[in-house]
Structure 1
Amino acid sequence: MARDDISRGQADRLRGLDEAARVAKTFEILAGEGSLWVWGDEDEILFTEDGERRTLLPVWPYAAVARLENAGEVDGEHAVRIPVDAFLTEWLPQLEEDDALIAIFPVEDRIAAKLTLAEFRARMTAALRLN
């Protein structure tokens, strides 16, 4: 069962990790919790673009860190929980049609890693096997 109850201190510690550590920790948490978090509202999920105008889907390991990154931006937007298995089987094929990349655990416009869908799938599959 996914949890949304990490403390502000825990969230700040995760946000303070360097990029490589945020990537490693993200996959560890996603495998352990069985879900990931994106940002959106009742109708849409928030995508962003990088400097090369590639479509990015930001993902976070906990709702708390997603909220810290997006707080106060638009009324009605919130962290949206997606089970990892649904993300792999349903979301990745759709994201492929959109030619999107996965932005791992952005903090203040610093993305820990931009992964292709194949890279994300491989890393997530490996993390699930270890769990």
Structure 2
Amino acid sequence: MSYSLTDTDQAAVEKMQDNERYNHFVNKVVEHQEMWILTDEHGCMMLTTEEDEDCIPMWPHADYAKTWAVEDWAECQPEAISMKTWQSRWLPGMEEDELLVAVFPVTDAAGALVEPGELQDAFKRKQSGR
């Protein structure tokens, strides 16, 4: 279940550096047991980095994802991925397809690019209190 997000909170978080938004993402995903992607009739939105690496952007709340749903992505809608679905389908699928996660991109920054297994390790560390 998603949490309430005020415009003030959203603006403050979007001004954070990539590493701060990464930590915020991990904390919120573990707390609320879901993350968000953008999808359209063709599937989930993917990006290609300058280094030609394919990645899937993910956010901790639907409203952050909506911020990206403009221009080329205007037809996209936020879609929740539960932690259970992440672990059973997305994590192994992304690893098999050699996709990265673009963690919490914002208008002026692409977000932290991490391997799905690295993100899963961060979730586990947070869940165990480390």
Question: What TM-score results when the alignment is normalised by the length of structure 2?
Answer: 0.89
- 1:112: Cα distance to partner? 2.7
Residue number in structure 2 paired with 1:22: 21
Could you tell me whether the CA contact under 8 Å between 1:38 and 1:59 is conserved in 2?
yes
* In structure 1, distance between residues paired with 2:41 and 2:81: 13
Against the structure 1 CA distance between its residues 10 and 119, is the aligned structure 2 distance closer, same or farther, given a 3 Å change threshold? same
Identity within the alignment, %: 20
Tell me: CA distance 1:118–1:74, structure 2 relative to 1, closer, same or farther (3 Å): closer
* Corresponding residue of 2:114: 115
Name the TM-score, length of structure 1 as normaliser: 0.89
For 1:48, give the aligned amino acid.
L
1:130 Cα offset (Å):
2.9
Which residue in 2 is equivalent to 1:62? Answer: 61
> CA distance change for structure 1 residues 75 and 22 in 2, over 3 Å: closer, same or farther?
closer
Which residue does the alignment assign to 2:89? 90
How large is the Cα RMSD of the aligned pairs?
1.9
SS state of the match for residue 128, structure 2? Answer: helix
Unmatched tracts of structure 2, length 5 or more: none
Displacement of 1:75: 4.8
Gaps in structure 1 of 5+ consecutive residues: none
Q: Check conservation: 1:8, 1:64, Cα contact below 8 A.
A: no
1:11 equivalent to 2:5? Answer no
Query: Which string of whole-angstrom CA distances, capped at 9 and with x for unpartnered residues, describes residues 11-54 of structure 1?
Result: 11111111111011110000111100001125501111100111
Q: Who is 2:123 aligned against?
A: 124
The one-letter code sitting in structure 2 at the alignment partner of 1:79 is P
3-state SS, counterpart of residue 66 of structure 1: helix
* Whole-angstrom distance in 2 between the partners of 1:75 and 1:21: 27
Partner Cα distance (2:108, 2:96) in 1: 25
Contact 1:58–1:104 (8 Å) recurs in 2: yes
The CA distance in 1 between the partners of 2:64 and 2:106, in whole Å, is 9
Contact 1:40 1:80 in 2 (8 A): yes
Secondary structure at the aligned position of 1:53 is classed as coil
Pair 1:7–1:35, CA change in 2 (3 A): same
